[in-house]
Amino acid sequence: MGLSAGPAAAAADGRPCAFTGDYRTMPTGNTVPVRWCPDWSPRSDGRIPVYEAPTGGSVVGWMNDTGTRTNWYVCQINGARHDAGGYWNTWWALTMADNGQWGWVNETYFRGGGNGERDGGLPADCPPLD
């Protein structure tokens, strides 16, 4: 995808994540609501990396499909800066990779927001993973 498919340069999130009534079970056994988010990838294979922590580090898995509300996320927290496809962000969203591993996706892979901007539809209070 071209750069025009990436996050908008606007100062407000024009494409926030949306709650549609879906829930997932965390590794702790707690059930939490999830939001479906419009995402994208500048990578030639179109995948989104899922990291072990909101500081980056090791990739624990991948989101293999992207698009309009293709993937779900639980919440977001502010973490380390990540650059991708000419964009940057410090906000990270908790999700499960396609291989079943829990981890964090940087919001540079979200459509609709500007650099350094959090998603307008994800809560900022993340439950513990363990």
Global pTM reads: 0.88
Q: What is the pLDDT along the chain (130 residues), one digit of tens a residue?
A: 343 445 444 457 888 999 999 999 999 999 999 999 999 999 999 999 999 999 989 999 999 988 777 899 999 999 999 999 999 999 999 999 999 999 999 999 999 889 999 999 999 989 988 8
Q: Which residues of 43-52 are buried (b: 16+ CB within 10 A; e: fewer)?
A: eeeebbbbbe
Where on the phi/psi map is residue 57: left (φ > 0), alpha (ψ -120 to 50), or beta? left
**Token pair belonging to 71:** 């993937």
